[in-house]
């Protein structure tokens, strides 16, 4: 657990709907706020597009945003938003029958169905839902309902995906919360918590490997699927540490990062496109690989099976941490 973060000048918790227009296209969503953080969620894809600090601390004022969204992200509903937290369902990558990589959930407009605010808990919460349609049935031939709840409570961002089987047949799926974390410089980013974990290297034709480093650092393209066991997930958390803050004099005690814990999302994907792949993506800047890293909570190795009438819940909690003492270094 990190140290409590100072409150901002405003203490009101809220969930405020909004509508934004870009190039004639309307984008709706909600903004969650509490005493310490603000979170923007679009109805398109139920997409968390921003999680930013409201604190007056210099380490936050310099760069309040924790997530990354490309300056070239397309916000007209024609394709998924590049950055933030896209929802991969009912498949991760091309591990399924869907035409679109990562499935259709991130390409669909979800319905905003409710919110909750609690001043005492410093909590603001919003829930979105997506149900099967004739269009989704062509690619994923089952009736389903998805509930996605996003909440900010103090310095925590929680995203919870519930998958309900409304069909007469059992179905299975793979999924991920494809989180893009922002970075001042990718060479200063370290990912901890995966030492000794088996992974598949997607850049080496699916080669099976075991992570041998305490920290994953970045000086080239990385695309790996780590397969953590349940016992490890329950015991360990992943840490995304921005070490650029360690050598800034007065800020030396304010190393900044995010700690990630999960439930029922036992796998972890670590990805940075680096130079060549960045140039190949039309909705991603050529130099933006320096500003992000994806660490994705996922269920990939063993597809999730849901019986008729049953449900499954996968959950990710991110904690903003600013003191080096609260990282396992």
pLDDT tier at 322, thresholds 50, 70, 90: confident
pLDDT > 90? residue 253? no
What is the model's pLDDT at position 229?
65
Tell me the pTM: 0.91
Distance of alpha carbon 44 from alpha carbon 47, whole angstroms: 6
Is 52 one of the annotated binding-site residues? no
The residue ranges of every structural domain in the chain are 14-324
Distance of alpha carbon 306 from alpha carbon 161, whole angstroms: 14
| Top CATH class, 14-324 | mainly beta
Hey, how many other C-beta atoms are within 10 angstroms of the C-beta on 223? Answer: 18
**Model pLDDT for residues 268-306, shown as the tens digit of each residue:** 999 999 999 999 999 999 999 999 999 999 999 999 999
SS3 (DSSP) at 67: strand
Distance of alpha carbon 319 from alpha carbon 293, whole angstroms: 16
Is 82 one of the annotated binding-site residues? yes
* pLDDT top residue among 248 and 34: 34
**Model pLDDT for residues 178-212, shown as the tens digit of each residue:** 999 999 899 999 999 999 999 999 999 999 999 99
pLDDT > 90? residue 63? no
Angle of CA points 312, 122, 105, to nearest 5°: 35
Strands 111-118 and 87-88: unpaired
pLDDT > 60? residue 115? yes
**Model pLDDT for residues 154-180, shown as the tens digit of each residue:** 999 999 999 999 999 999 999 999 999
Q: Average pLDDT of 56-79?
A: 85
Which range has the worst mean pLDDT, 3-12, 72-81, 107-116, 279-288? 3-12
Average pLDDT, the chain: 89
SS3 (DSSP) at 47: strand
Name which of 169, 158, 107 is nearest 305 in CA terms: 169
Which range has the worst mean pLDDT, 119-128, 205-214, 221-230? 221-230
Is 228 one of the annotated binding-site residues? no
pLDDT tier at 20, thresholds 50, 70, 90: confident
pLDDT > 60? residue 245? no
Please list the active-site residues. Answer: 178, 296
What is the model's pLDDT at position 323?
62
**Whether the Cβ atoms of residue 261 and residue 283 lie closer than 8 Å to each other:** no
Q: Average pLDDT of 76-96?
A: 93
């Amino acid at each position: 657990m990190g140290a409590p973060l100072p409150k901002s000048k405003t203490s009101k918790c809220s969930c405020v709907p909004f509508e934004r227009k870009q190039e004639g296209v309307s984008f709706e969503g909600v903004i969650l706020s509490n005493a310490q953080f603000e979170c923007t969620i679009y109805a398109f894809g139920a997409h968390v597009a921003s999680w930013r600090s409201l604190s007056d601390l210099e380490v936050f004022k310099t760069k309040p945003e924790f997530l990354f969204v490309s300056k070239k992200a397309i916000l007209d509903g024609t394709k998924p938003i590049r950055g933030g937290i896209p929802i991969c369902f009912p498949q991760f990558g091309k591990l399924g029958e869907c035409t679109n990589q990562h499935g259709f959930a991130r390409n669909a407009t979800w319905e905003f169905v409710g919110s909750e605010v609690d001043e005492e808990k410093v909590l603001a919460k919003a829930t979105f839902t997506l149900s099967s349609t004739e269009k989704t049935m062509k690619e994923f031939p089952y009736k389903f309902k998805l509930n996605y709840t996003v909440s900010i409570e103090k310095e925590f961002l929680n995203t919870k995906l519930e998958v309900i089987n409304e069909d007469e047949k059992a179905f299975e799926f793979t999924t991920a919360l494809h989180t893009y974390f922002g970075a001042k410089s990718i060479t200063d980013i370290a990912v901890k918590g995966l030492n000794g974990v088996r992974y598949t290297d997607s850049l080496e034709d699916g080669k099976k490997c075991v992570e041998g480093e305490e920290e994953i650092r970045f000086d080239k393209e990385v695309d790996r699927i780590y397969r953590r066991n349940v016992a490890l997930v329950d015991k360990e958390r992943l840490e995304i540490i921005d070490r650029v803050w360690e050598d800034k004099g007065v800020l030396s005690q304010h190393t900044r990062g995010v700690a990630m814990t999960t439930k029922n999302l036992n796998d972890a994907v670590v990805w940075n496109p680096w130079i060549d792949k960045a140039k190949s993506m039309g909705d991603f800047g050529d130099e933006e690989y320096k500003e992000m890293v994806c660490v994705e909570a996922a269920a990939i190795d063993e597809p999730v099976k849901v019986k008729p009438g049953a449900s499954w819940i996968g959950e990710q909690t991110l904690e903003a941490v600013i003191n080096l003492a609260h990282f396992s270094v």
